[in-house]
Protein backbone atom coordinates (compact mmCIF):
# COMPACT_ATOMS: atom_id res chain seq x y z
CA UNK A 1 0.00 0.00 0.00
CA UNK A 2 0.91 3.69 -0.20
CA UNK A 3 2.77 3.87 3.10
CA UNK A 4 4.70 0.62 2.88
CA UNK A 5 6.03 0.69 -0.68
CA UNK A 6 9.21 2.56 0.20
CA UNK A 7 9.84 0.25 3.16
CA UNK A 8 9.49 -2.85 1.00
CA UNK A 9 11.81 -1.49 -1.69
CA UNK A 10 14.44 -0.62 0.90
CA UNK A 11 14.10 -4.05 2.46
CA UNK A 12 14.63 -5.82 -0.84
CA UNK A 13 17.63 -3.66 -1.66
CA UNK A 14 19.18 -4.25 1.75
CA UNK A 15 18.82 -8.01 1.54
CA UNK A 16 20.35 -8.06 -1.92
CA UNK A 17 23.38 -6.12 -0.72
CA UNK A 18 23.77 -8.38 2.32
CA UNK A 19 23.84 -11.38 0.03
CA UNK A 20 26.60 -9.81 -2.02
CA UNK A 21 24.52 -9.61 -5.19
CA UNK A 22 25.65 -7.04 -7.74
CA UNK A 23 23.18 -4.20 -8.08
CA UNK A 24 22.61 -4.74 -11.78
CA UNK A 25 21.68 -8.39 -11.20
CA UNK A 26 19.77 -8.07 -7.88
CA UNK A 27 16.66 -10.24 -7.58
CA UNK A 28 13.71 -8.32 -6.21
CA UNK A 29 11.79 -11.34 -4.90
CA UNK A 30 14.24 -14.12 -4.01
CA UNK A 31 13.30 -17.68 -3.06
CA UNK A 32 13.70 -18.06 0.70
CA UNK A 33 12.56 -21.68 1.13
CA UNK A 34 11.36 -24.76 -0.73
CA UNK A 35 8.76 -27.22 0.59
CA UNK A 36 8.54 -30.45 -1.42
CA UNK A 37 9.49 -28.45 -4.47
CA UNK A 38 7.06 -25.58 -3.81
CA UNK A 39 8.98 -22.32 -3.46
CA UNK A 40 8.44 -19.67 -0.81
CA UNK A 41 9.53 -16.17 -1.80
CA UNK A 42 10.38 -13.07 0.18
CA UNK A 43 7.09 -11.50 -0.94
CA UNK A 44 5.26 -14.40 0.73
CA UNK A 45 7.00 -13.59 4.01
CA UNK A 46 6.16 -9.90 3.65
CA UNK A 47 2.52 -10.68 2.87
CA UNK A 48 2.38 -12.95 5.93
CA UNK A 49 3.73 -10.09 8.07
CA UNK A 50 0.92 -7.84 6.82
CA UNK A 51 -1.57 -10.33 8.27
CA UNK A 52 -0.07 -10.07 11.76
CA UNK A 53 -1.73 -7.94 14.47
CA UNK A 54 -1.18 -4.22 13.86
CA UNK A 55 1.41 -3.90 16.65
CA UNK A 56 3.57 -6.64 15.12
CA UNK A 57 3.28 -5.41 11.54
CA UNK A 58 5.64 -2.58 12.34
CA UNK A 59 8.28 -4.87 13.87
CA UNK A 60 11.55 -5.23 11.92
CA UNK A 61 11.34 -8.12 9.47
CA UNK A 62 14.50 -9.62 11.01
CA UNK A 63 12.63 -10.16 14.29
CA UNK A 64 9.52 -11.85 12.88
CA UNK A 65 11.17 -13.58 9.91
CA UNK A 66 11.88 -16.94 11.68
CA UNK A 67 8.31 -17.24 13.01
CA UNK A 68 6.78 -16.26 9.67
CA UNK A 69 9.04 -18.70 7.82
CA UNK A 70 8.01 -21.64 10.03
CA UNK A 71 4.36 -20.67 9.72
CA UNK A 72 4.57 -20.59 5.91
CA UNK A 73 6.30 -23.99 5.84
CA UNK A 74 3.64 -25.50 8.12
CA UNK A 75 0.85 -24.02 5.97
CA UNK A 76 2.42 -25.38 2.79
CA UNK A 77 2.78 -28.88 4.25
CA UNK A 78 -0.74 -28.90 5.68
CA UNK A 79 -2.21 -27.59 2.43
CA UNK A 80 -0.42 -30.25 0.39
CA UNK A 81 -1.70 -32.99 2.71
CA UNK A 82 -5.26 -31.61 2.68
CA UNK A 83 -5.33 -31.65 -1.13
CA UNK A 84 -4.15 -35.26 -1.18
CA UNK A 85 -7.03 -36.11 1.17
CA UNK A 86 -9.50 -34.32 -1.10
CA UNK A 87 -10.45 -31.62 1.36
CA UNK A 88 -10.29 -29.03 -1.43
CA UNK A 89 -13.34 -30.66 -3.02
CA UNK A 90 -15.60 -30.47 0.03
CA UNK A 91 -18.57 -28.07 0.38
CA UNK A 92 -16.96 -26.69 3.56
CA UNK A 93 -13.84 -25.69 1.61
CA UNK A 94 -15.81 -24.05 -1.20
CA UNK A 95 -17.98 -22.10 1.26
CA UNK A 96 -14.97 -20.78 3.19
CA UNK A 97 -13.03 -19.99 0.03
CA UNK A 98 -15.95 -17.94 -1.29
CA UNK A 99 -15.93 -15.83 1.89
CA UNK A 100 -12.14 -15.47 1.85
CA UNK A 101 -12.25 -14.50 -1.82
CA UNK A 102 -14.73 -11.72 -1.04
CA UNK A 103 -12.52 -10.41 1.76
CA UNK A 104 -9.35 -10.47 -0.36
CA UNK A 105 -11.03 -8.69 -3.26
CA UNK A 106 -12.44 -6.10 -0.86
CA UNK A 107 -8.97 -5.38 0.51
CA UNK A 108 -7.43 -5.16 -2.95
CA UNK A 109 -10.19 -2.82 -4.15
CA UNK A 110 -9.85 -0.51 -1.14
CA UNK A 111 -6.05 -0.57 -1.33
CA UNK A 112 -6.13 0.45 -5.00
CA UNK A 113 -8.69 3.17 -4.30
CA UNK A 114 -6.63 4.59 -1.45
CA UNK A 115 -3.41 4.47 -3.47
CA UNK A 116 -5.09 6.47 -6.23
CA UNK A 117 -6.54 9.13 -3.93
CA UNK A 118 -4.12 9.44 -1.00
CA UNK A 119 -1.51 12.00 -2.00
CA UNK A 120 1.11 14.08 -0.21
CA UNK A 121 -0.94 17.18 -1.03
CA UNK A 122 -4.00 15.68 0.68
CA UNK A 123 -1.99 14.75 3.77
CA UNK A 124 -0.40 18.21 3.92
CA UNK A 125 -3.83 19.82 3.57
CA UNK A 126 -5.11 17.80 6.54
CA UNK A 127 -1.98 18.71 8.54
CA UNK A 128 -2.51 22.41 7.88
CA UNK A 129 -6.13 22.17 9.01
CA UNK A 130 -5.23 20.34 12.22
CA UNK A 131 -2.19 22.54 12.89
CA UNK A 132 -4.22 25.74 12.50
CA UNK A 133 -6.81 24.49 14.98
CA UNK A 134 -4.15 23.20 17.40
CA UNK A 135 -2.22 26.48 17.33
CA UNK A 136 -5.25 28.23 18.80
CA UNK A 137 -5.44 25.75 21.68
CA UNK A 138 -3.51 25.66 24.92
CA UNK A 139 -2.18 23.03 27.31
CA UNK A 140 -2.83 23.31 31.02
CA UNK A 141 -1.14 22.00 34.14
CA UNK A 142 -3.90 21.07 36.55
CA UNK A 143 -4.73 19.30 39.80
CA UNK A 144 -8.00 17.72 40.80
CA UNK A 145 -9.77 16.12 43.73
CA UNK A 146 -12.03 13.21 42.81
CA UNK A 147 -14.78 12.13 45.23
CA UNK A 148 -17.89 9.99 44.98
CA UNK A 149 -20.56 12.52 45.96
CA UNK A 150 -21.53 16.07 45.04
CA UNK A 151 -21.93 17.03 48.70
CA UNK A 152 -18.39 15.92 49.47
CA UNK A 153 -17.07 17.97 46.55
CA UNK A 154 -19.02 21.04 47.69
CA UNK A 155 -17.62 20.67 51.20
CA UNK A 156 -14.08 20.59 49.80
CA UNK A 157 -14.78 23.69 47.71
CA UNK A 158 -15.88 25.43 50.89
CA UNK A 159 -12.56 24.53 52.55
CA UNK A 160 -10.64 25.83 49.53
CA UNK A 161 -12.59 29.09 49.62
CA UNK A 162 -11.57 29.40 53.28
CA UNK A 163 -7.91 29.09 52.23
CA UNK A 164 -7.09 25.39 52.67
CA UNK A 165 -4.27 23.93 50.55
CA UNK A 166 -5.49 22.18 47.40
CA UNK A 167 -2.71 19.57 47.22
CA UNK A 168 -3.17 18.64 50.88
CA UNK A 169 -6.92 18.21 50.48
CA UNK A 170 -6.36 16.07 47.38
CA UNK A 171 -3.94 13.83 49.27
CA UNK A 172 -6.43 13.42 52.10
CA UNK A 173 -9.73 13.09 50.21
CA UNK A 174 -9.24 12.21 46.53
CA UNK A 175 -10.10 8.70 45.37
CA UNK A 176 -8.11 9.03 42.14
CA UNK A 177 -4.60 7.65 41.56
CA UNK A 178 -3.18 11.21 41.46
CA UNK A 179 -3.90 11.66 45.20
CA UNK A 180 -0.35 10.54 46.00
CA UNK A 181 0.85 13.56 43.98
CA UNK A 182 -1.55 15.99 45.61
CA UNK A 183 -3.96 15.59 42.70
CA UNK A 184 -1.34 16.64 40.15
CA UNK A 185 -2.39 15.61 36.61
CA UNK A 186 0.59 17.17 34.85
CA UNK A 187 0.21 18.87 31.48
CA UNK A 188 -2.58 17.94 29.09
CA UNK A 189 -4.17 19.37 25.98
CA UNK A 190 -7.40 19.09 23.99
CA UNK A 191 -8.85 15.60 23.66
CA UNK A 192 -6.86 14.02 26.48
CA UNK A 193 -9.54 14.18 29.17
CA UNK A 194 -13.25 13.32 29.19
CA UNK A 195 -15.28 16.17 27.69
CA UNK A 196 -16.93 17.42 30.90
CA UNK A 197 -13.59 17.61 32.71
CA UNK A 198 -11.77 19.20 29.77
CA UNK A 199 -14.44 21.85 29.19
CA UNK A 200 -14.43 22.90 32.82
CA UNK A 201 -10.63 22.92 33.11
CA UNK A 202 -10.04 24.83 29.87
CA UNK A 203 -12.55 27.51 30.92
CA UNK A 204 -10.79 28.18 34.24
CA UNK A 205 -8.45 31.17 34.56
CA UNK A 206 -4.90 30.28 35.57
CA UNK A 207 -4.63 29.93 39.36
CA UNK A 208 -8.36 29.38 39.87
CA UNK A 209 -10.33 26.33 41.00
CA UNK A 210 -13.89 25.30 40.15
CA UNK A 211 -16.48 26.71 42.53
CA UNK A 212 -19.04 24.13 41.44
CA UNK A 213 -18.32 20.37 41.35
CA UNK A 214 -17.72 18.87 37.89
CA UNK A 215 -19.46 15.54 37.25
CA UNK A 216 -17.97 12.88 34.97
CA UNK A 217 -18.40 9.13 34.69
CA UNK A 218 -15.61 8.79 37.27
CA UNK A 219 -17.33 10.84 39.97
CA UNK A 220 -17.28 14.46 41.17
CA UNK A 221 -14.23 16.66 40.58
CA UNK A 222 -12.81 19.85 41.99
CA UNK A 223 -10.27 21.22 39.51
CA UNK A 224 -7.40 23.69 39.91
CA UNK A 225 -5.50 25.13 36.91
CA UNK A 226 -1.96 25.98 37.95
CA UNK A 227 -0.30 26.88 34.64
CA UNK A 228 -1.19 27.42 31.00
CA UNK A 229 0.98 27.41 27.87
CA UNK A 230 0.43 27.43 24.09
CA UNK A 231 -0.15 24.02 22.54
CA UNK A 232 3.02 22.79 20.83
CA UNK A 233 2.11 21.81 17.26
CA UNK A 234 4.07 18.69 16.20
CA UNK A 235 5.98 18.80 12.92
CA UNK A 236 4.49 17.44 9.70
CA UNK A 237 6.97 14.55 9.63
CA UNK A 238 6.12 13.57 13.21
CA UNK A 239 2.42 13.14 12.46
CA UNK A 240 2.42 12.35 8.72
CA UNK A 241 1.89 8.61 9.17
CA UNK A 242 -0.92 9.15 11.70
CA UNK A 243 -2.70 11.57 9.36
CA UNK A 244 -2.17 9.24 6.39
CA UNK A 245 -3.73 6.36 8.31
CA UNK A 246 -6.71 8.50 9.31
CA UNK A 247 -7.22 9.66 5.73
CA UNK A 248 -6.89 6.09 4.45
CA UNK A 249 -9.66 4.97 6.78
CA UNK A 250 -11.85 7.90 5.72
CA UNK A 251 -11.26 7.26 2.01
CA UNK A 252 -12.10 3.58 2.43
CA UNK A 253 -15.25 4.32 4.41
CA UNK A 254 -16.49 6.93 1.93
CA UNK A 255 -15.82 4.60 -0.99
CA UNK A 256 -17.83 1.82 0.67
CA UNK A 257 -20.65 4.29 1.37
CA UNK A 258 -20.62 5.22 -2.32
CA UNK A 259 -20.79 1.56 -3.38
CA UNK A 260 -23.69 0.95 -1.00
CA UNK A 261 -25.57 4.01 -2.26
CA UNK A 262 -25.29 2.70 -5.84
CA UNK A 263 -26.34 -0.85 -4.98
CA UNK A 264 -29.68 -2.54 -4.49
CA UNK A 265 -29.46 -4.07 -1.01
CA UNK A 266 -32.14 -6.13 0.69
CA UNK A 267 -31.51 -7.37 4.20
CA UNK A 268 -33.44 -8.87 7.09
CA UNK A 269 -33.21 -7.89 10.72
CA UNK A 270 -32.21 -10.46 13.31
CA UNK A 271 -35.80 -10.52 14.54
CA UNK A 272 -37.00 -11.34 11.01
CA UNK A 273 -34.53 -14.21 10.81
CA UNK A 274 -35.78 -15.59 14.14
CA UNK A 275 -39.38 -15.41 12.92
CA UNK A 276 -38.45 -17.21 9.70
CA UNK A 277 -36.79 -20.02 11.66
CA UNK A 278 -39.85 -20.36 13.84
CA UNK A 279 -42.27 -20.76 10.96
pLDDT digits (tens, 9 = 90+) for 53-77: 877 878 888 888 999 999 999 999 9
Neighbouring-strand partners of residue 228: 140
Q: How many CA atoms lie within 13 A of 2 on its CB side?
A: 22
Q: Is the pLDDT of residue 200 over 70?
A: yes
pLDDT grade, residue 134 (50/70/90)?
Answer: confident
Give me the residue spans of the domains in the chain: 5-85, 138-230
pLDDT for 279 equals 80
- Position 20 confidence tier, pLDDT thresholds 50, 70, 90: very low
Q: Rounded to two decimals, what is the model's pTM?
A: 0.60
End-to-end CA distance of the chain: 48
% of the chain with per-residue pLDDT over 90? 73
Q: For residue 14, how many other CB atoms are within 10 A of its CB? A: 11
Q: What is the structure's pLDDT at 241?
A: 94
Contacts of 154 (CB under 8 A, 6+ apart): 213
Question: What's the CATH number of domain 138-230, 3.10.50.40, 1.10.3720.10, 3.40.50.300, 3.40.50.2300?
Answer: 3.10.50.40
Amino acid sequence: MFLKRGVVVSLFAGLALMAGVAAHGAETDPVVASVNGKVVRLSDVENARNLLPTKLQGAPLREVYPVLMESLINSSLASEKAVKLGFDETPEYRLRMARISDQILERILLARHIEQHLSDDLIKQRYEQVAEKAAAQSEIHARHILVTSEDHAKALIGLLEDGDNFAQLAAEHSTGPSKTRGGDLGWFGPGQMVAEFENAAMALPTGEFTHEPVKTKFGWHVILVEERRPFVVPSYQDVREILANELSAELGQKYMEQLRSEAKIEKKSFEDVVKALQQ
